[in-house]
Amino acid sequence: MPRKPIITGAALILATGFLVLFIGGGARFAVGLTLKSIVDDFGWGRSELGLAVALFQIVSATAMLAAGHLADHTNPRLVLRGGLLVSGIGSGLMSAITAPWHPLALYGVVYALGNGAASIIPVGVMITRAFPERAGLANALAMSGMSVGQFVVIAMMAAVLAAVSWQWVYLLLGARPSDAGAAAARRDPQI
């Protein structure tokens, strides 16, 4: 007699959504946390990094629109995985910045594109499809990861910043296990 799985596919999707939003909820604040250290190391003005943050907001919002369209017309799991990969590359490469245009390109464009795609949009679509009868509650559980992540991930990044350096904050964010979490999501073509 085949054994019953410990975790159902729908529960795994819920856990993956929570994890993705948990990490992303805090990770997007890395620039604010590391701003003083970066400015002090390079002697740049705060406005140079502020411009990267403004660009991030615009690009991320635009990427969310595209992610919504793609999630409706393709597999939202693939949209999520692609966004996680791109955001990991953008945040990881932030550890190697040396010129003011680097944060514009890496945080303001690359990370923003990935963040917009690996966001509440594909997670919400996946969860709604996995829990059609309880979509509201399931989405609330997954999306609570954003708030909890802001508390926990920012505290963890602050500890890394204090103990090591701002470069390590970005290296760790780039190496985060988020793609593994997305890969664990059920391979159902409808989800």
Domain boundaries in the chain? 9-184
Ranges of H-type helices in 106-189: 112-117, 120-130, 135-163, 166-174, 178-184
**Given this model, what pLDDT does residue 109 score?**
98
The whole-angstrom separation of Cα 120 and Cα 110 is 18
pLDDT digits (tens, 9 = 90+) for 17-61: 999 999 999 998 999 999 999 999 999 999 989 999 999 999 999
The proportion of the chain whose per-residue pLDDT surpasses 70, expressed as a percent, equals 88
The token pair that represents 16 in the structure block: 């993956």
Model confidence at 187, in pLDDT bands (50, 70, 90)? low
Q: Which CATH class is domain 9-184?
A: mainly alpha
**Given this model, what pLDDT does residue 10 score?**
87
pLDDT digits (tens, 9 = 90+) for 69-122: 999 999 999 999 999 999 999 999 999 999 999 999 999 999 999 999 999 999
* Closest to 35 in 3D by CA, of 48, 22, 24, 26: 48
The token pair that represents 94 in the structure block: 């932030």
The whole-angstrom separation of Cα 107 and Cα 113 is 9
**Given this model, what pLDDT does residue 28 score?**
87
Q: Which of 46-50, 167-171, 180-184 holds the top average pLDDT? A: 167-171
Helix, strand, coil percent content, the chain, rounded in steps of 5:
80, 0, 20
